[in-house]
C-alpha cells in the first residue's frame, strides 16, 4: 500500500469517528489521468453515455433482498428456538448461545466490564467467536444484516423520503461527531454508575428481546419515539448519530477482508449510490475528483448493506474479498 492509499485509509478511519470528509491533497498518477480524461470528455457525449447505461440498467434489489432475508431469518431463529424450546439459538442479540457456543455482543460485553470495572473471563471468552466473525465480515455488517432496529429504521426512512418528496418534511443533519461523544458518555456512565445505562435504552436490545419474550410498553414507546423522530425530523438519526454499537463494530471491521470496492474508470458520478446509502459519508470517494486511485475500498464505517451495489448503473461498486475476485 503506497503512501497515498495509506493516507486515504487513515482518513476513512477519522471519517468514521466523525470528521467531515474532504478532497484529498494527493492522488495517484493513474487516477489523475482518469480524472483528466473525464474533464476533457464532451458533456453531451457523457450525458448520452449515461442515458444509454440507464436505459439498459434494470433496477436491482438483489443485495437488499438477501440482506432482509438474512436479518429476518436470524431474528426469527431466536423466536422459534424460544417458542419451541429447541435450544438452537437461545437468548437475544446482546447475549446468546448457538448450539452450545456462547455469543456475546462486543459493545454489551464492554459495557458490562466497564460497569464491573474488571475483565470478566466468561464474557471475554464469549466475545471471541463474535469478534472473529465480524473481523472477517466487517464490523458494521452487523448493523444492516442482523440488527432488527436497523430494519425498522430503514422502513421509517422510506416514509421520510416519501414525505420529503411531497415537501412535508426536511432532513436536519446532525454533526456526526456526536456518535463518538455518545460512545464516550455511555462508557463513562457505566464506569461511574456501575450500571449498563446504554443497554437499558438500546433499541437493538429492546426490539430483539421484545420479539422473543415480549417487550414492556414503556420500552416499545421509546423505540416508537425514535422512529417518529427519524420520520419527521432527522433521517436515520439513531444509527448515524447516536448508536455506539455501530462505532464499536466499525472499529472491529477496520481490517476486514470483505468490503465494497469502487472503480473510478467506469463511474459516471451520477450520485445514485449516495442517495440510497445508509451512511453516505463513506461514499465521498465517488464524488467527481475525489478518488485517490483507480480502485478504492470503501471505509470501515460502511455497513455492507449492498444498496449502493444494487443502485450503481455501471457496476462501479462491487463486493470484494481482499485478494480474491469480486462477489458480484
Instruction: Say if residue 217 is in the same domain as residue 305.
Output: no
Q: Which helix (H) or strand (E) holds 103?
A: strand 101-104
Instruction: Say if residue 192 is in the same domain as residue 131.
Output: yes
Show which of 225, 251, 277 is a domain's final residue: 251
Q: What is the count of structural domains for the chain? A: 2
Residue 56 lies in a domain: no
Distance CA 258, CA 158 (A): 27
Residue 300's pLDDT is 93
Angle between helices 244-252 and 121-137 (to 10 degrees): 70
Dihedral of the alpha carbons of 244, 249, 254, 256, in degrees to the nearest 10: -160
Please answer whether residues 92 and 208 qualify as being in contact, where contact means their C-beta atoms are separated by less than 8 angstroms: yes
Residue 73 lies in a domain: yes
Domain containing residue 279: CATH number: 3.30.70.20
pLDDT in tens, the chain (328 residues): 578 888 888 999 999 999 988 888 889 999 999 988 887 766 666 666 666 656 555 678 999 999 999 999 999 999 999 999 988 899 999 888 888 788 889 999 889 889 988 877 777 777 888 899 899 998 899 999 999 999 999 999 999 999 999 999 988 889 999 999 999 999 999 999 999 999 999 999 999 999 999 989 999 999 999 999 999 999 999 999 999 999 999 999 898 999 999 999 988 888 889 999 999 999 999 998 999 999 999 999 999 999 999 999 888 999 999 877 666 5
- The answer to whether the pTM exceeds 0.85 is yes
Distance CA 135, CA 139 (A): 6
Show which of 202, 219, 251 is a domain's final residue: 251
Domain residue limits at 131: 63-251
Residue 6's pLDDT is 87
Residue 47 lies in a domain: no
Amino acid at each position: 500500500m503506497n503512501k497515498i492509499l495509506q493516507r486515504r485509509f487513515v482518513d476513512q478511519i477519522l471519517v468514521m469517528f466523525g470528521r467531515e470528509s474532504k478532497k484529498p491533497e494527493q492522488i495517484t498518477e493513474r487516477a489523475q489521468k482518469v480524472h483528466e480524461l473525464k474533464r476533457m470528455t464532451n458533456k453531451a457525449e457523457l450525458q448520452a453515455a449515461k442515458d444509454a447505461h440507464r436505459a439498459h440498467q434494470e433496477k436491482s434489489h438483489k443485495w437488499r433482498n438477501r440482506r432482509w432475508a438474512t436479518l429476518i431469518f436470524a431474528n426469527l431463529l431466536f423466536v422459534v428456538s424460544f417458542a419451541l424450546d429447541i435450544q438452537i439459538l437461545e437468548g437475544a442479540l446482546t447475549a446468546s448461545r448457538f448450539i452450545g457456543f456462547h455469543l456475546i455482543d462486543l459493545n454489551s460485553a464492554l459495557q458490562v466490564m466497564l460497569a464491573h470495572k474488571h475483565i470478566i473471563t466468561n464474557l471475554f471468552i464469549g466475545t471471541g467467536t463474535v469478534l472473529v466473525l465480524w473481523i472477517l465480515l466487517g464490523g458494521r455488517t452487523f448493523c444492516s444484516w442482523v440488527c432488527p432496529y436497523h430494519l425498522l429504521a430503514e422502513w421509517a426512512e422510506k416514509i421520510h423520503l416519501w414525505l420529503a418528496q411531497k415537501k412535508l418534511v426536511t432532513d436536519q443533519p446532525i454533526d456526526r461527531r456526536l456518535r463518538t461523544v455518545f460512545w464516550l458518555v455511555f462508557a463513562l456512565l457505566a464506569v461511574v454508575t456501575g450500571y449498563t445505562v446504554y443497554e437499558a435504552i438500546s433499541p437493538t436490545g429492546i426490539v430483539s428481546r421484545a420479539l422473543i419474550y415480549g417487550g414492556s410498553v414503556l420500552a416499545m414507546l421509546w423505540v416508537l419515539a425514535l422512529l417518529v423522530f427519524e420520520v419527521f425530523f432527522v433521517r436515520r438519526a439513531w444509527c448515524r448519530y447516536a448508536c455506539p454499537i455501530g462505532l464499536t463494530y466499525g472499529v472491529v471491521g477496520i481490517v476486514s477482508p470483505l468490503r465494497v470496492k469502487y472503480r473510478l474508470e467506469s463511474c459516471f458520478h451520477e450520485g445514485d449510490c449516495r442517495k440510497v446509502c445508509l451512511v453516505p459519508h463513506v461514499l465521498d470517494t465517488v464524488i467527481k475528483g475525489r478518488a485517490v486511485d483507480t480502485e478504492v475500498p470503501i471505509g470501515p464505517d460502511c455497513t455492507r448493506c449492498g444498496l449502493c451495489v444494487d443502485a450503481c448503473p455501471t457496476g462501479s461498486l462491487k463486493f470484494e474479498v481482499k485478494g480474491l475476485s469480486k462477489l458480484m
